[in-house]
Chains A and B, each alone.
Chain A
């Protein structure tokens, strides 16, 4: 393939990829301006949109998955100026996996739900922002992607209906709260990045050297914390729970992707790219801690949602946060596999969770659910096993993560079992194809490049430099230490989570499915002695949930905050008007009165009395001559 003097595939791959991204961007913006055209191609819009990118991806696989990138191009200012902002693009396996999975998932859901044009264009923009981040080498390209993500959030309102539902929250509020959140997040990140750039840190993703001098001066400390806090702010579904307290018909998968998960995955990718720089520093553990905190916070919101649809969306939108609980601790091959695996699992769940409880649907959902938690055989298992096998090194961190994972798994499995409550749809061919594709992709060896896991010696690996796949015995590569404890812990969490999911949480008020499984309920209480969970404690939990919902979350977001902001705005408005009046007087015409008094005096002087002439003249002659002879 290479060696021909002409343009080799690798050389033209990256420009072609950028061209497809620009094409998708322009097409999604363009479709807004020509609504009539969309009517004709409504079904096939996204596939047509993503087809050229698919061709490029296939090209990438054909040329051997070799990362092709361009040297970093300076964007603003000359290279040698220390605070110059730089652009850089690349196309590597991470880009491939993310673009393919997200693309396939979006195509499947859009073919199934057939959303209106604004939602479709927002999906296109969301995909562009995710793939652009995946294929960016410097933060500033990623910043452009964040910008596109925000535009994607704004687009649905261009055509969105504005019928307010009982809670008084219309699509605007959906748009308002999540866009505001991501806009503030973006701004905080930009300030942080600008601060870092001002101090010579080029934020290139592949530059060596950890950001040790991040502790150098208070400014960099502030800038660094701004940078990471902004990214974390992108995916805090808990902070805008108003969305999930409201249930309306429509395209909840698409809206979930546009308003929550797209920006969340963009931030996870940025943090993944920045990983080599912040590995083994306090920043990494800081991010992990923050992610855990937020996840715990969102459990409260999660536990007490009335409708299954809201529960699915909320649980899924917390998934990136969940990924971030252990991603910062991993590195190299493990990090890549964990990230890629969780993207695939996310894709699968995204499609299959809203199922009708048929056997096949349930099986698929369970399979992807297992993949999420690093069940052996899944690509994610390498990362999870490696993290949990560090129990001795960081017992507190690992145990806390295990607890959080346990609760998350419990909720997850409850939702997996229950499925969604959308009406039965026709069998959707696209959904099955995509699920099949995702299963093969999620399969450990596929992603790790050892197709035959070394079993069939002469088959060449399609991902050179890959290591053997740890079927049973924990993986023993030089850099990664995994042991049985980690392996056991991971699968233990899974098991306990599933059991908890089925039985113990039967009495949770949200999902009235505890009645459907009386036998299971008794068994769980027996095995686990559910009784030690005093009723009061569960009721307490329920009460705090409802308390949180009625007394704090709703009033805060629906009544208290709006009133506060309205009163503040009104007062500010009065202040603005008062200031405008005051500053208006500064250049008002009343200054003219300053001169009116003297001009009246002068006019009086100008009396036309002839007799005065001479005396006045003589008077002045006297004054002048006296002055001259003084």
Chain B
């Protein structure tokens, strides 16, 4: 029992702080110092500290065996906390978000992160479905965090709709599996599938429903076509947080389900093979290929900033599918490494972009970058990282993912991923030109507040550290994958 309390501590702490914030908002009557941001950040830091505690507790099931505390979950939890911290800061800085409802936003972010952390460690389907639905609905609400703007509300609406669809599909699949095996726990379903075996039609339908259902917010093939509409409408910091949050949670669940329920350990350690005779790897390969190709083509045609960035956000999951395809420890490590770098890159890119978007008067398309050199250099820095060009860790992340595909002879897929990388980088460089071409003339530059510099440093420095000390980072990610308890 005590162990459960300790293991649930980070989530409870976050939820309590968000409730506190809401109460503070309700009871607010005009004090000058609000300290909203400070409390939220404190909450995140506290949760992070408690997470370290969980590490020491070691792997094991908790919460009446519904949750699991393994390296994989813990790593994803830390990522969620980091993206929450960045979101809080960016939200504070951005002018798109009205100041009055800052507390709601902070509370919303903290609550969603707590639920996400739970979802990532959930093992039994009931909890997965419930948390999935909750996070997706609340997550879509975050998308609407913007001054009264029809498109933001439309984005949130689309998010809710897809939340409903994905939950329906996943629960249908769970019902099918429950009817066949009578279990809700992943491990027990796995065991049952192996002994009793199940009719191929049911297995196929269940598998495809889960894959497509999780796709709604994992933004790979079928749903990637419309997932980006949500991202276009929302405010910049909200998009950054939503995209990384949804991707972390849905890939966390997808990987766990694929490994635990649908595959078994092959002969040598660290490799998995689909359980029944039905080999669903080509399906994942096709999904990954289509995601990469279609979103790359979409991005290539874009000129507007928001649509371009939305396309780039969506294409990342195509790469993570490549990691999943490999079904081996190194593949999952590359997914986690990709997610870690993505949190910083996307966060940084959107933060610096919102800095410029806020200060740009309507209609002047002139080169913005000269307005503030450090901010401009940071923007270019993040752009090159997101697109996966050296010398930044984006390149290493993309390399590890593509090489995990190539390791299992999916060379064709590797070729498609490389071409899609080329397409999006060409589109990005075409987009960067108006920002850069008058950098020669020094136009007046915006004042850069210290907190903004701190945010930038907070994003740039970890990126550089990751690329230099790629080895320890990969080792840590590798070890946390090894934790996975099957």
Contact = CB atoms under 8 A, between A and B. Distances in A.
Do A and B assemble together? yes
A535 B409 CA distance: 97
Nearest to B158: A610
B297 A595 contact: yes
A153 B208 CA distance: 85
Contacts of A622: 208
B116 to A, nearest CB: 23
A583 to B, nearest CB: 21
Interface stretch (A112-120, A389-397, A598-606): A598-606
A605 B294 contact: yes
A628 B294 contact: no
Given A602-B294, A629-B201, A629-B278, A620 B162 contact: no
A603 B308 CA distance: 12
B223 interface: yes
B294 A620 contact: no
Contacts of A599: 297-298, 300-301
A628 B204 contact: yes
Contacts of A479: none
Interface bracket on B: 35 or more
B158 A624 contact: no
Identify whether the interface residues of A are mostly helix, strand, loop, or mixed: helix
A621 B158 contact: no
B162 A629 contact: no
B207 A617 contact: no
Contacts of B298: 599, 602-603, 606
B234 to A, nearest CB: 14
A628 B297 contact: no
A37 interface: no
Nearest to A609: B226
A621 B223 contact: no
A595 B204 contact: no
Interface in B300-338: 300-301
Contact of B297 (A598, A608, A627): A598
Given A599-B297, A616-B225, A629-B201, A610 B161 contact: yes
Interface string B399-437: 000000000000000000000000100100000000000
A613 B223 contact: yes
A629 B228 CA distance: 31
B278 A595 contact: no
Interface stretch (B209-217, B365-373, B374-382, B460-468): B209-217
A613 B301 CA distance: 23
B200 A629 contact: yes
Nearest to B224: A606
A565 interface: no
Counting chain A CB atoms within 10 Å of each CB, the highest count among B201, B300, B423 belongs to B300
A603 B301 contact: yes
A23 B343 CA distance: 69
Contacts of A606: 225-226, 228-229, 298
A600 B226 contact: no
Contacts of A610: 157-158, 161, 226
A613 B212 CA distance: 11
A612 interface: yes
Interface residues of A, number: 27
Nearest to B221: A620
B177 to A, nearest CB: 14
A508 B221 CA distance: 100
Nearest to B226: A613
B297 A602 contact: yes
A588 interface: no
Contacts of B169: 617, 621
Contacts of B157: 610
Contacts of B301: 595-596, 599-600, 602-603
A625 interface: yes
Contact of A624 (B165, B204, B216, B294): B204
A614 interface: yes
A624 B223 contact: no
Contact of A617 (B201, B205, B216, B229): B216
B233 to A, nearest CB: 9
B229 A620 contact: no
Interface in B178-237: 200-201, 203-205, 207-209, 211-213, 215-216, 221-223, 225-226, 228-229
A602 B314 CA distance: 14
B231 to A, nearest CB: 12
A605 B204 contact: no
Nearest to A622: B208
Contacts of A592: 300, 426
B283 interface: yes
B133 interface: no
Nearest to B200: A629
Given A603-B298, A613-B161, A621 B221 contact: no
Contacts of A628: 200, 203-204, 207-208, 278, 280, 283
Nearest to B222: A620
Given A599-B298, A610-B158, A625 B201 contact: yes
Given A606-B226, A613-B226, A595 B423 contact: yes
A618 to B, nearest CB: 8
A577 to B, nearest CB: 28
Contacts of B204: 624-626, 628-629
B300 A620 contact: no
B411 to A, nearest CB: 22
A628 B169 CA distance: 18
Contacts of A617: 165, 169, 212-213, 215-216, 222-223
Interface string B15-35: 000000000000000000000
A602 B311 CA distance: 12
A621 B162 contact: no
A130 to B, nearest CB: 56
Nearest to B294: A602
B307 to A, nearest CB: 9
Contacts of B215: 617
Contacts of A626: 204
Contact of A620 (B158, B212, B226, B228): B212
Contact of B226 (A603, A612, A627): A612
A606 B211 CA distance: 20
Contact of A625 (B205, B228, B294): B205
Counting chain A CB atoms within 10 Å of each CB, the highest count among B208, B221, B282 belongs to B208
B283 A624 contact: yes
Contacts of B222: 616-617, 620
B105 to A, nearest CB: 25
Nearest to A624: B208
Contacts of B223: 613, 617
Contacts of B212: 617, 620-621, 624
Contacts of A601: 297
A624 B286 CA distance: 10
Interface string A65-101: 0000000000000000000000000000000000000
A629 B276 CA distance: 11
Contacts of A621: 169, 205, 208-209, 212
Interface string B162-181: 10010001000000000000
A598 B280 CA distance: 28
A595 B297 CA distance: 7
A617 B173 CA distance: 14
A80 B200 CA distance: 78
Given A617-B212, A624-B208, A624-B283, 16 more contacts: A595-B301, A599-B298, A602-B298, A603-B298, A606-B298, A610-B157, A617-B165, A617-B213, A617-B216, A617-B222, A620-B221, A621-B208, A625-B207, A628-B278, A628-B283, A629-B201
27 contacts: A595-B297, A595-B300, A599-B298, A602-B301, A603-B298, A606-B225, A606-B226, A606-B298, A608-B226, A608-B229, A610-B226, A613-B223, A613-B226, A616-B226, A617-B213, A620-B221, A620-B222, A621-B205, A624-B204, A624-B212, A624-B283, A625-B204, A628-B207, A628-B280, A628-B283, A629-B201, A629-B204
Q: Which 6 pairs show the lowest CB-CB distances between chains A and B?
A: A599-B301, A624-B208, A628-B204, A625-B204, A620-B222, A599-B297
